[in-house]
Structures are given as C-alpha cells and as structure tokens.
Amino acid sequence: MARTLITSALPYINGIKHLGNLVGSQLPADLYARYRRARGDEVLFLCATDEHGTPAEIAAQKAGKPVAEYCAEMHEVQAEIARGFRLSFDHFGRSSSPQNRDLTQHFAGRLFDAGLIEEVEETQVYSHTDGRFLPDRYIEGTCPNCGYESARGDQCDNCTKQLDPTDLINPHSTISGATDLEQRATKHLYLRQSKMREALSEWIDAKADWPILTTSIAKKWLNDGDGLQDRGITRDLNWGIPVRKGAAPWDGMEGKVFYVWFDAPIEYIACGAEWAQKQGLSPDAWERWWRTDKGADDVRYVQFMGKDNVPFHTLSFPVTLLGSGEPWKMVDYIKSFNYLNYDGGQFSTSRGRGVFMDQALSILPADYWRWWLLSHVPESSDSEFTWENFQTSVNKDLADVLGNFVSRVTKFCRSKFGEVVPTGGEYGPQEEAVIATITEKMAAYQTFMDAMEIRKAAGELRAIWAAGNEYLQEAAPWTVYKEDSEKAAAQIRFALNLIPFYAAISSPFIPDAAGKLGTAMAVGTPQWPEDVATAISALAPGHSFVVPDNLFAKISDEERAEWQEKFAGTRE
C-alpha cells in the first residue's frame, strides 16, 4: 500500500477566510487526499490554524478577548466551516499546541548547535506608555514614500512600499495611540539561511517534476541577492512560543517568542503528533510519517499552498529541517496556486468584498462551491470568480449534465420497470462504444488526477458525465420501449450502472452528491473502478434502488443578482 502525506497551508486565525483562501490550499489538498484514499493509499492529511504573531493579538484586542481565548474560539469556528466544506482532514490542529511548542524549541536548539542561529543586536521602537517594544504592525504613521497617514510598520497599504517601523513619520502605537516612542537596542535571534544556499540549491534542483510556478518562485528567491538572507526568528510579543533551546532557557531572550513564520511550518510535524495522541496511538506513532529513520522513507509528501507561501516552504522551512541535521521527511512535491480574484477586483477581508466561507455555506451546499472552485482553480494563471460564470457552471455542469442524467434514468425506470434494475436484453454496439469512450476518458482523468492537474481533471470528469447524457439521447429508451421493451430494459440497465460509477469517480470533487447516489443505488460507498466495463455491469438485474431527490437546484437570475449585490463589499 502506497503512503501519502498531505499538508495544506495553515489558515491564519484572525477571522473567517474567503473563497480565494480556500481554493489556494485546503480544497485542492482535500481533493487529492480523497483521490489517493480512493485509489487505495494510506493517507495522512494534516492542517491546523496558524495562531501566533501580531495579527492574532490585534484581532483578539479588537474582539475584546484574551488572545488565547480568542484563538481557541476561532479554531472551533474554522474547524466547523472546514467540516461544512467536507474537508477530510485526518487532524485539524493548532500551532499553539504543546507539541508544536516542544518541537519548535527543539529545532531552535539543534540549529543553534549547528551554527545556524546567531544573536543580533538591532534597533527597534519602544513605547514608554505601553511598556514594551512594538512589533511592526503595532505601529502606524505617515508613509515617507506617498504620504499615506495610516501606513503600518511593515508596509504601506496605499503604495505597497515595504517599510521598517523606523521609516514612519509621526509614528504612534496602535495599542494605546501613544507617541512617546523611542528607538532602543534589543537582541534577537537570526536564522542564518545564507549558510544553507548550496544545500538548498541542490535540493531544489533535484525537484525536476515540480510545477513551473513553484520552481520559478523558489529559484528567484534563492538566486536573488535580496532573497536568501539571514532573517529574524524572534519577536517581542506576549503571545507565542517562548524562546528556549529545547528545555533550556535562552539567556538574554526572556520575554521573547519565536516568529510565527518559524514555528508555523513546524506545526505540520507537530500536527502529526497531535493526531497520534488524539487517535490514542503510541506517542511516537507519528514518526513513521515524518522521520526517515522511522519508516517515512517510503512516504510521498505533498504540500498545497498559494504562491505567496512558496518562499517560506522552499527556503525557510527546508533550512530548518536540513539544518537540524536530523532525518526529517522533506517535501516531495509542492503544488502551488495563483490567486482567485473576485468579480472584477480582488477579495478583501478588510472591506468584506467577496464571498467568505461561512457565507457561501449559508446560501448553497458545499458541492456547488467545490465544483466551481476546483474546475476553475488558478493553476497556470490568476482566475476570477464571477456570479455569471458560477451560475452557468452550476446550472450546466451539475444540474443539466449530471443531475439531469440521474433524474431521467431513475424516473423513467421507475415508471416502466419499477425501482429495480430491469431484466432483459443485452448490451450492443452502442453500449460498447460508450464503454470505449469512457475508458479512454477515464485513463486521462486518472492521469490528470495523479499529476494534480486539477482543471484538466475536472474537464475529463465532466466529459464522462456528458457521455451518459449523449448515450441517453442517442439510445432514446423512451422511444425504443414502445417497440422493444427488452432492448429498452438493457439500455436502462446500462444507464443505471453508470450512476454508481459516476458516484465513485466524482466523490473527490462532490462528495455529498456522490454519497447520495451511492445510497440511492443501494451500493453504500462506491469503490473506485479499476475496469470501466466491469464497473458498468456491477448492478445485476433485480437490484433495488430508489429515485434520489433532485441532486442540484439551478441558480435563478434573481438569486444571482441578489448575491452579486450582497457580496459586493459590505460584511456585517
């Protein structure tokens, strides 16, 4: 049995994510996890909320709650929404877990011993009123580049210029509004990434099968003079993983925590330890997935993420793993995505522009969103969500092609033969031609799924659905029945057999609909078909079924217009 380890980029804790976030990591990762399970792999699919860093503190402050309480609540909110979208995580963890704390501190100690962490004295902004150093997002002021008066300490949202807090004109604390700020010396830890350039280059060069998007970003950062720099991995924050070397204190680092981008990727591994504990397995059961000296050498590890996360996963996190000198499982394949834009612009969390995951589920079932997002996933370039395109895709692909096929076949059978697979007749040249067509398309579908070419896979799946409709139109059993009921019985038996076949191969994309079809056809959870001809003969004459409820309701023009207006830019 093949073993596949899958992780998707960790959603940040500060609020509910929009559809662009969903399609950029978690949803395609779920598609692949479901597919690999269906093909017989042993799969471990992990994700978690990313809970540390300044934005978490700010979000908690705005909510009027202690940050730990806020993060715990938002984790449950995000977990529930993930269940709503049928994301089939084996474990959905938290980067604030004890397992991540221990592993992060362990890696820091190993990297320090290897000479890859050094203490650096630098100048940062200190607030006398707040009694603390202010991380970049706790400072706002006037941008020296464009004059925007609400620029943050890390970037100006108006002109997008990257900034340091000390660049701002008339800076003030976003905590208290205080202006009694001064520049003060402090010590921080830096990860010496530059020392790992050669090792990283060899590792990346060996990944000849990576997507062009992933490789181009990785090599740009690796070879750019400003890319692979030593970077600070500690911050002056109250919320985070305390800076320690394993169990030992780190002198001079009291009151500091590790930078979120240092500890967050380590949570992938820690999430495996959380999973093992939750499952009641032995404490080291997770190591067979994550350590090559404990059995992970036969694991294929695949990561899913948006293109903005690629530098951290191809440079910083590999530096942590390789630099530790320990036998950690390195990623084999990184599937990265471009951006999904929204209806002529961009999704905006701050302005509530676009559809957020909770809102999506409040108006339509998960399968509608899953199908559109996966069939339009931004692989080779940015893509755009429009309500017109969404309506067309749902109505034509789901309702007219798949849903209509199932409805016509089952209702006609019920009216003429009852709710059983009819007896009589034999398959002939028409049915053999359909089997040949579907066999060819099925091979292409599996090839694209294996390669994680998701849009192409969705196109082949739709074509397989369409083959059933085309067969019905050409065979016309409702007409044949009048002259030759046995031939019509064979035609309907053939068409009925397509339904559990469709359920099996569609389940990674639309699991709820697939489950309903499996139940209606009394086959339970349909198994992935290894041979098309065999699968399309699986339902024997006399097998009982029930006519399923309408699988997909069409979206009306009135609904489309209402939703387009509702999600144009105001989020309650």
Q: What contacts 192, CB < 8 A, 6 or more positions away?
A: 115, 116, 117, 118, 230
Return the bridge partners of 242, or none.
257
Ramachandran quadrant class, 64 (left: phi over 0; alpha: psi -120 to 50; beta: rest): left
* Paired tokens of 527: 């198994």
- The full length of the chain comes to 572
146 marked ligand binding residue: yes
Q: Which helix (H) or strand (E) holds 289?
A: helix 287-290
**How far does the chain reach from its first CA to its final CA, in angstroms?**
49
**Which among 43, 58, 62 is positioned nearest to 12, based on CA atoms?**
58
71 marked ligand binding residue: no
* Paired tokens of 72: 């715990």
As to burial, measured by CB atoms within 10 angstroms (0-12 exposed, 13-18 middle, 19+ buried), residue 489 is buried
**Which among 75, 85, 67, 74 is positioned nearest to 30, based on CA atoms?**
85
Q: What contacts 26, CB < 8 A, 6 or more positions away?
A: 8, 9, 11, 47, 82, 85, 87, 304
**Which among 36, 91, 98, 4 is positioned nearest to 276, based on CA atoms?**
91
Distance CA(553)–CA(533), nearest Å, equals 31
214 marked ligand binding residue: no
- 60, 67 contact by CB (below 8 A): yes
How many CB atoms sit inside 10 A of residue 440's CB? 15
174 marked ligand binding residue: no
* 3-state SS, residue 188: strand
**Which among 274, 308, 276 is positioned nearest to 79, based on CA atoms?**
274
Distance CA(206)–CA(90), nearest Å, equals 30
47 marked ligand binding residue: no
Distance CA(82)–CA(348), nearest Å, equals 20
Binding site residue list for ATP: 349
Binding site residue list for Zn(2+): 143, 146, 156, 159
Binding site residue list: 143, 146, 156, 159, 349
